[in-house]
Amino acid sequence: MSEQEQSKGFKIETSSLRAYTMLGALILIWLFFHWQTGGTFLSSGNLSNLMLQTSVTGILAVGMLMLIVAGQIDLSVGSVLALAGGVAAIALTNWGYGLGVSILLAIAVGVAIGIIHGTLVAYGKIPAFIVTLGGLLAWRGAIKGVSHSETVSVADQTFKTFGQGLMTLGTGWGLGALAIAALLFFAFQRAKSQKDYGLGEADYKKELLKTILPIIAIVAFVVAMNSSGGVPVPVLIFLAVAIFGTFVTNSTTFGRYLYAIGGNSDAARLSGIDTKRNILKVYMLLGVLTGIAAIVFTARQGSATPDAGTLKELEAIAACVIGGASLMGGRGTVFGACLGALIMASLDNGMSLLNIRDFVQEIVKGAILVAAVGADMAGRKS
């Protein structure tokens, strides 16, 4: 009785409360840096930079989030990113393959490694931590072998677009308009299906009100990006991946199964879910996203280095955790993980603008990761 009364309703609120808290934290961080940098931080040029810095970690965080929700982990994505990016660069530069083949090769490397990890974890019953810790070492070794520990530069301009290109101003507005149209469409759909299924009146007003903030954000985003030359292509790729990830986790049976497996794998198995196959699938999906991240990363650098992406796995995991995901599985959102990635990138960017020394930056980031989870745990107890 007491338990039920206490937490009824309260728990539902906390999930949206957490999202607001994170947004609030992000805004505070932004305002703080804006004030400290004398107005540089929130200039359109720096915002564009900030989004660019977020994109690679963000793409990885989306994949990592799905894995973490299913109660898994991958410590090897940094090494896999280097290997996939390196293979693409070598294929393009040394082996003379075309752009398409090179890109597909990068993704294929990611998927193949995902299959290996997923099979060992799900069917070989080796803990994910161990399998991917092995991967962290082995795949880093593999790229050193393939590249003879040398940097491979990429000359192909089209390839570089994926990391350095800008959309034309018109395209930026067009995509923004498309996003707003989609938002409104889904708001109408939600309200209408409420009525169609007899769950209550169609509350168009409430659903429309909910779209106001996102619409403002989209417009502000396009304005900011366009005033510094246009929406960067890698940012667009990141946003597309984020939308895809949100769709998978919220609207597919596969996504629902991930939450079930992470929340209670016995209950999931007894409810007829093939837990092993779904775990394999999510490792493959992370592989695809790691391949995409590798292309963006390599294209941005203009070259592939054997030590590319070092510590990226930890950044991706940190982004998920700051965004409210539980490493025990069953809890977390793509939106949260993306916010987490943005918070991490904001700290990097802001502290660099303030010329804070490297070692201090690392200490601050580490402390904030622990503090974020600590605050989350404290909030959940009360």
Partner 1 sequence: MRSIVKEFPGVKALDGVTFDLYEGEFHSLVGENGAGKSTLMKTLSGVYPYGTYGGDIVIDGETRQFKTIRDSEKAGVAIIFQELSLVKELTVGENIFLGREPSKFGLINWSALYQKATRLLKDLRLPIDPRVPVGNLGIGQQQLVEIAKALSQNAKILVLDEPTAALTESEVETLFSILRDLKERGVGMIYISHKLDEVFQMSDRITVLRDGKTIGTEDAKNLTKDKVIARMVGREVGDIFPKTSHEFGETAMEVRNLTAYDLDNPDKKIVDDVSFKVRKGEVLGIAGLMGAGRSELLMSIFGAWQSRSSGEVLVEGRPVSIGSPSEAIKNGIGFVTEDRKRFGLLLEQPIVDNMSLAGLKKISGAFLTHRSRETVAAKGAMQSLKVKANSPMTVAGTLSGGNQQKVVLGKWLLTHPKVLFLDEPTRGIDVGAKQEIYSEINKLAKEGLAIVMVSSELPEVLGLSDRVIVLHEGKLTGEFTKTEATPEKVMAAATGNG
User: Cβ(276)–Cβ(122) under 8 Å?
Assistant: yes
298: left (phi over 0), alpha (psi -120 to 50) or beta: alpha
Could you tell me which of 364, 367, 338, 305 has the C-alpha nearest to residue 66? 338
Binding mask 310-349 for partner 1 (x = CB under 8 A): --------------------xx------------------
Residue 11 interacts with partner 1 (CB under 8 A): yes or no: yes
Q: Does 272 bind partner 1 (CB under 8 A)?
A: yes
Burial class (CB in 10 A: 0-12, 13-18, 19+), 235: buried
Decide if residue 253 touches partner 1 (CB under 8 A).
yes
Q: Does 252 bind partner 1 (CB under 8 A)?
A: yes
The residue among 160 and 256 lying less far from partner 1, judged by its C-beta, is 256
- The whole-angstrom separation of Cα 146 and Cα 278 is 32
Q: By CB under 8 A, tell whether 196 contacts partner 1.
A: yes
199 binding partner 1? (CB under 8 A):
yes
Q: Which of 34, 144, 160, 256 binds partner 1 (CB under 8 A)?
A: 256
Of the pair 11, 206, the CB lying nearest partner 1 is at 11
Cβ 254 to partner 1, closest distance in Å? 8
Q: How far is Cα 275 from Cα 285, in angstroms, rounded to an integer?
A: 15
For partner 1, the closer CB: 163 or 324: 324
Alpha carbon separation from 53 to 49, 50, 109, 163, 344 (Å, rounded): 6, 5, 24, 11, 10
Segment (H or E) for 110:
helix 99-118
Examine residue 13 and tell whether it contacts partner 1 (CB under 8 A): no
User: Applying CB under 8 A, does 3 fall inside the site for partner 1?
Assistant: yes
- Residue 16 interacts with partner 1 (CB under 8 A): yes or no: no
E strand intervals along 290-342:
303-304
Per CB under 8 A, the list member of 108, 126, 274, 347 interacting with partner 1 is: 274
Nearer to partner 1, 139 or 259 (CB): 259
Distance CA 345, CA 365 (A): 10
Is 157 an interacting residue with respect to partner 1 (CB under 8 A)? no
Q: Within 13 Å, how many C-alpha atoms sit on residue 89's CB side?
A: 30
- Indicate if the alpha-carbon torsion angle 25, 31, 36, 39 is positive or negative: positive
Distance of alpha carbon 201 from alpha carbon 56, whole angstroms: 43
Cβ proximity to partner 1, 238 vs 259, nearer residue = 259
**378 lines the binding site for partner 1 (CB under 8 A):** no
With contacts defined by CB under 8 A, name the span among 88-96, 149-157, 205-213, 264-272 that binds partner 1.
264-272
The residues that touch partner 1, with contacts defined as CB under 8 A, are 1-9, 11-12, 193-194, 196-199, 250-257, 259-260, 263-264, 266-274, 330-331
